[in-house]
Amino acid sequence: MSTIEFSRAFYIKLGRGGAWEPDSISTGRLRLGWSQQSVADINAGQWDHIEQQLRQEHDGKAQVATNDLNRLRDIVESTPDDIWMTFHKAKLWWTRVADGPVEQDGVSKFRRTALPWSDRATNGRLLVVNDLPGKIAQLQGFRGTVCRVQHLDLLRRVLNGLRSPLADSISAQRTILAGQLTQAIKELHWKDFETLADLVFRDSGWVRVSVLGQHAKAYDLELREPITGDRYVVQVKSQAALADLHDTIAQFSAEDYRRVFFIVHSPAADLESASDLPEHVALVAPSRLAELAIDAGLTKWLQDKVS
């Protein structure tokens, strides 16, 4: 899909409590209320007459009636160059209106859309509300029917699947930090390396069920995910080759464990290049462990260990 460009964008609430959302999205329509105004008057642009009707509806409150009229005109006068957005099932949906008049069916008045409603950015990213910038997501709380989107550059970036310069900078700094922590992990004493592996999982909310194989060469942990009850095994080794990984795979099957984590301080060359691993097996070298340590908030712990 090509880059999305626009100079105006609007948020619309599709029916009271979102009642028209499913139908609007499935049928390619931008549904609107204004039930007391006729389609003929709306399409003829009888704005003075419609404003008088709205003043009566709003008990003579001129400002409220004028705002209601302007929002109706936003819908009626919108062109295919504009973007229209709404929220449905915890996702942002967007479209453009087609050229043509306001129509009416047994549900409501509506304008047809120029393309299907979409819940994805141009790069295919699903537009989940919890992943949106706050200034866009907060439009969910708008109490009226229609409003203009003020943060056009932000919406343009969201719909085109682009990241902000600030997000790119944070990502670059995280990459640098992960590289530094990888070096720190390689300097850890073996017992500290074992402790780090344990802390990464426990600080991520998993519960240690037991210590396995205490008399074996490896240091193993069995963990349980508290909500789902899924079981995981973590095997930690100071040094290991591909053959050691294959031994572990043979011991812990996918039927018994949701995932097997094979954590190695100093992997051999054939292990570093290992591929085509079973889906339930994850090889965790120092670089990957560094990323997990960042996510678990263990940067300061590692800093102290190498200070």
Residues 71, 54: contact at Cβ < 8 Å?
A: no
Residues 265, 185: contact at Cβ < 8 Å?
A: yes
pLDDT at position 274: 87
pLDDT at position 105: 96
Q: Which residues of the chain have pLDDT under 70?
A: 1, 211-219
Name the strands in the sheet holding 231-240, side by side, starting at the edge strand that comes first in the sequence: 207-212, 219-224, 231-240, 259-267, 281-284
In 3D, which of 95, 98, 58, 102 has the Cα closest to residue 76? 102
Topology given in CATH for the domain delimited by 166-305: Trna Endonuclease; Chain: A, domain 1 (3.40.1350)
- Tokens 């039930």 locate to 35
Task: Please give the Cα distance from 73 to 258 (Å, whole number).
Answer: 56
**Model's pTM, two decimal places?**
0.73
Task: Please give the Cα distance from 269 to 241 (Å, whole number).
Answer: 7
pLDDT in tens, 150-203: 999 999 999 999 988 888 899 999 999 999 999 999 999 988 998 999 899 888
Segments making up each domain of the chain, as ranges = 9-159, 166-305
Residues 264, 285: contact at Cβ < 8 Å?
A: yes
